[in-house]
Amino acid sequence: MKEILFNLSSKFRSRAIEKGLSDLEFYGVWSREIHIEISRSRVKSVVDKTSINYGIIGAIGKKIGSIGLRDLDIDVDRILDRLISIIKASREDEKFTGFAKKYGRGVESSIFDKKIVEIDHSEALDIINNAIETSIESARKHGADETFVTEGSFELSVGGVYISNIDGEEQYREGTLNNMFLEIKSRKDGEESSYWAIYQSRRLSINDILREANRGGEYSIKFIKASNIESGEYSVILDPYMTAAFISSALSPAFSALSVQENRSPLKNKIETQILSENIDIVDDPAIDWSIGSRSFDDEGIATMKKNIVEKGVLKTYLYNYYTAKRENRESTGNGIRQTPSSVTTPGFTNFVLKGRGLLMNFDEMISELKKGIIVHGLIGYWMSNPVNGSTQATISHGLLVEHGEVKKAVKGNVLVGNIYEWLGRNIQGIGREVINVYGIMHVPAIFFSNGRIG
C-alpha cells in the first residue's frame, strides 16, 4: 500500500511544476479492516474493507486549492488541470507562504499492535459477543428485568499515512486501531433507560473492552425513572467522559494559534497569564503508548514533541501548524491536524492530557463531599458550548442527585450552564486522581466544582 501512495505522489510531483503550480502537498491514507455491525444483541454483518484515500493540495502564488480522490487508475494531467481551475477560482491568502518543509520525526510510541493485524473473523466475533454478553449480565446483576444491545459496531483495522511535498520530502507511518461502540437498553418495572460502552485504542485489550462493556451495562439500569430536579446552583461532579466532552468543545479549540490569530479565542495575549486553577496542568503528549493521537510527525510531516501547554494554571504556549507558525515567524509545534486527506491542516492537540497538582480526590471522596450536588454521567448538546468565550451548555441525560454524600435519585432533562474557565478555575473543588483515556485522544480525570447552574 505504501508503494501505491508513493507512486501516486511521484506522478503528481513530477508534473506539478510543468503545469504551473508553485507548491504541492500530497496526503494519502490506506486502511484494511474487519467491520462488525450489531443489532438487537446479535451480529448483523461482518465485512472486510480495504480503502485508499488521498488528497492533492496545490498552490499558485497565494491561492490554494485541493482535490480528494480514491481512484488509482488516474489521468494525472487531467486531475492537475482540475486542481489548477479550482486554485485560480479561489481567493488569495496574503499570509500563505507555502506548504510545510523540513520534515522530521520526533517522539516515538507504540501504535502498532500485531494482534490486530493477525486476528481473524472467528476471534473478532468471540470478542464482541463476549462484550455483548458482559454488558447484559452486568445490567441484570444490577436489577434489570430485560437488557439488550440496540445497536453497535466493532472495528479492527491496520493502516498507513503517507505525506510528501513538492521538494520530494516524505514521511510514512503505520498503525492499528480498535473501536467498539455498544448502545445498551435496560427495562425494569415498565421503565427503560439506555447507556453506551465505548472503547477506542490502537491496541486490542480484551480486559479493557470487557470493563467498558460491564460499565455500560451497569449504567444502563442506573438511570431508570430519571426526572427533572429543581433549578438552582449545585455542586457538580463530571465523570472523566463528561470532563472530556466539555473540554473538547469549550476549551481545547481555544489553544489553537489559528483561533488566537483570527480572534476566536479568549486566550489571545494570555501567554504567561493565569487562566485556570494553579492545581491544573495541561500537556500535549504525542508519545502515549496506544493512544489514538500518538504520532512521531504531524499531518504536515513535521516532527512532534511533548509540550506543556498550561503549567500550574498558567498558559505557556499555543498550538501551531506550519501556516500559523509562519504568520508569527516561528517554528511549528508539530500540531498540524488534517480533517480529511484533501483539507489543509489546522492546529490541534495530538493527545490532550489534564492532570491535577493538588485538590486530588478519589471519585468516592468527591461524592462524600457533596452536600447538594449532581454527578453527571451523560450529556447531550455539549457540542453547542462556545470556545470563543468558554461558555458551556448541555442537557443532562444521565445524572444523579446527591445530598450529604448519598445518591437520592436519577436526573435527566435539566440544563447545565456555566463557563469552563470558572469550572477549572475559581470554582474547582476537586480533581480526580485517576486519569482516564477517553475516546482515544483525551486523557482526563473527573472534575468536581461548585456553583454549577442547573436550569
CA 146 to CA 221: how far, in whole Å? 10
Q: What does the chain come to in residues?
A: 455
* DSSP type of residue 251: I
Domain spans, the chain? 114-160+171-222, 227-455
C-alpha cell at 68: 480528494
Q: Which residues contact 372 (CB under 8 A, 6 or more apart)?
A: 234, 235, 402, 403
Whole-number mean pLDDT of the chain? 98
Tens digit of each residue's pLDDT (9 = 90 or more) over 70-102: 999 999 999 999 999 999 999 999 999 999 999
Q: Cβ-count burial of 142 within 10 angstroms (0-12 exposed, 13-18 middle, 19+ buried)?
A: middle
Pairing of strands 346-347, 352-356: unpaired
Q: Computed from CA positions of residues 447, 448, 451, 454, in that sequence, does the dihedral angle turn out positive or negative?
A: positive
Residue 242 and residue 426 in contact, taking contact as beta carbons nearer than 8 Å: no
Give the burial string for 195-226 (b: 16+ CB within 10 Å, else e): bbbbbbbbbbeeebbbebbbbbbbbbbbbbeb
Tens digit of each residue's pLDDT (9 = 90 or more) over 21-60: 999 999 999 999 999 999 999 999 999 999 999 999 999 9
Q: What is the pLDDT of residue 360?
A: 98
Q: Please provide the DSSP assignment of 426-442 as one string.
A: TTEEEEESS-EEETTTE
Q: What is the pLDDT of residue 439?
A: 86
Q: What is the CATH number of domain 114-160+171-222?
A: 3.30.160
- CA distances 319 to 101, 199, 264, 276, Å, are 18, 27, 14, 17
Q: What is the pLDDT of residue 216?
A: 98
Q: Cβ-count burial of 294 within 10 angstroms (0-12 exposed, 13-18 middle, 19+ buried)?
A: buried
User: Residue 394: beta bridge partners?
Assistant: 416
Q: Is the pTM of this model over 0.75?
A: yes
Instruction: Average the pLDDT over 393-413 and give the result.
Output: 97
Q: What is the pLDDT of residue 264?
A: 98
- CA distances 161 to 107, 141, 252, 258, 275, Å, are 17, 44, 25, 24, 36
- The stretches of 377-435 forming alpha helices (DSSP H) are 420-423
Tens digit of each residue's pLDDT (9 = 90 or more) over 414-453: 999 999 999 999 999 999 999 999 988 999 999 999 999 9
- Rg of the chain over Cα atoms, rounded to whole angstroms, equals 24
Residue 333 and residue 326 in contact, taking contact as beta carbons nearer than 8 Å: no
C-alpha cell at 245: 466532552
C-alpha cell at 444: 482526563
